[in-house]
Amino acid sequence: IGTVVYENSTTASKAVAKEIADLIKVKQSQKQPCILGLATGSSPKGLYAELVRLHKEEGLSFKNVISFNLDEYYPMEPDSVNSYVRFMQEQLFNHVDILPENYHIPDGTLAKEDIRSYCDQYESKIKALGGLDLQVLGIGGNGHIGFNESGSLQNSKTRLVALDHITRVAASGDFSGLDNTPRTAITLGVKKIMEAKRVILLAWGERKSNIIKASVEEEVTSRVPASYLQEHNNATFVLDQAAASKLT
Ligand code: F6R
């Protein structure tokens, strides 16, 4: 596992955007699609803003990008203010030339009995494309990646999960209270995340510093799913100084 510490999240986000843009361009020159795993939440907002800038000002094209988002609340309507479909459209997809049929976000509107086969198909699509070239992650205060909460196994598949209380509390501001905050979500499993050829985890701010230390310097444990990334051969934690402040 590598850690890279930047002065602040803006410079860090720009560096990550550059890496992703370079990968997209290499794949373009090889006439290959670029398969990206994407996250929502506050951490990747600066990254997406920089990718939009690279598209608008420097001609970066997303025509060869095929993306798979990590997760979505369940149940969730795509046009709801809190849906991750809406988040991705507002932060990235509506501002670049990605083809609408090329982005995938778990469907929060499924009937419960259809979720399992849907999740299997989500993984099959990724597999058929040769796997994720690069996975972008944030990290929850409890060490979750995607919505793989504490206790998620390293070989866990894409599935419906119960959200931890602490995750729901963190989200409750967006849902005007805990009572309105979803209890479940669909998440890409740890296994597919670990199979990505490259993983970049973003974390900013003092509030992430303890869990970053636990993930990077302490034991690999299902209590802290992000610690599994210690066993990935090409994973980097990209941090600002505050998030890195507890590292030895
Ligand atoms: C979002 C996701 C979550 C977030 C994590 C951190 O798609 O998978 O794991 O990355 O909850 O959220 P922020 O970035 O808002 O601190």
Q: Could you give the number of structural domains in the chain?
A: 1
In whole angstroms, how large is the CA radius of gyration of the chain?
A: 17
pLDDT in tens, 5-39: 999 999 999 999 999 999 999 999 999 999 999 99
For the Cβ of 205 lying below 6 angstroms from any atom of ligand 1, the answer is: no
- Name the closest-CA residue to atom 12, ligand 1: 41
Task: State the catalytic residue, choosing from 149, 206, 217, 231.
Answer: 149
Does some domain include residue 100? yes
pLDDT at 64: 98
CA distance 166 to 245: 23
Give the mean pLDDT of the chain. 98
Instruction: Return the CATH number at 177.
Output: 3.40.50.1360
pLDDT at 118: 99
Does some domain include residue 172? yes
Which tokens go with 178?
Answer: 């805990």
Cα 141 to ligand 1 centre (Å): 9
pLDDT at 139: 98
Which tokens go with 169?
Answer: 């509390």
pLDDT at 46: 99
pLDDT at 153: 98
For the Cβ of 41 lying below 6 angstroms from any atom of ligand 1, the answer is: yes
Which residues, in sequence order, are CB contacts of 126 under 8 Å at separation 6+? 35, 68, 132, 192
Instruction: State percent of the chain over pLDDT 90.
Output: 100
Does some domain include residue 188? yes
Residues 184, 216 contacting (CB under 8 angstroms)? no
pLDDT in tens, 41-70: 999 999 999 999 999 999 999 999 999 999
pLDDT at 246: 98
Chain center to CA of 57: 25
Q: What are phi and psi of 172, to 5 degrees?
A: -65, -25
* ipTM associated with this complex: 0.99
pLDDT in tens, 195-237: 999 999 999 999 999 999 999 999 999 999 999 999 999 999 9
Which tokens go with 174?
Answer: 């967006």
CA distances, 46 to each of 84, 197, 205 (Å):
16, 23, 14
For the Cβ of 47 lying below 6 angstroms from any atom of ligand 1, the answer is: no
Range of the structural domain that residue 155 is part of = 22-202+220-233
Cα 202 to ligand 1 centre (Å): 9
Instruction: Work out which ligand 1 atom sits closest to the CA atom of 204.
Output: 16
* b/e burial code for range 126-156 (CB count within 10 A of at least 16 → b): beeeeebbbbbbbbbebbbbbbbbbebebeb
pLDDT at 45: 98
Which of 43, 73, 105 has most ligand 1 atoms within 8 Å of its beta carbon, as the pocket-test mutant? 43
Helix (H, G, I), strand (E, B) or coil at 87: helix
pLDDT at 31: 98
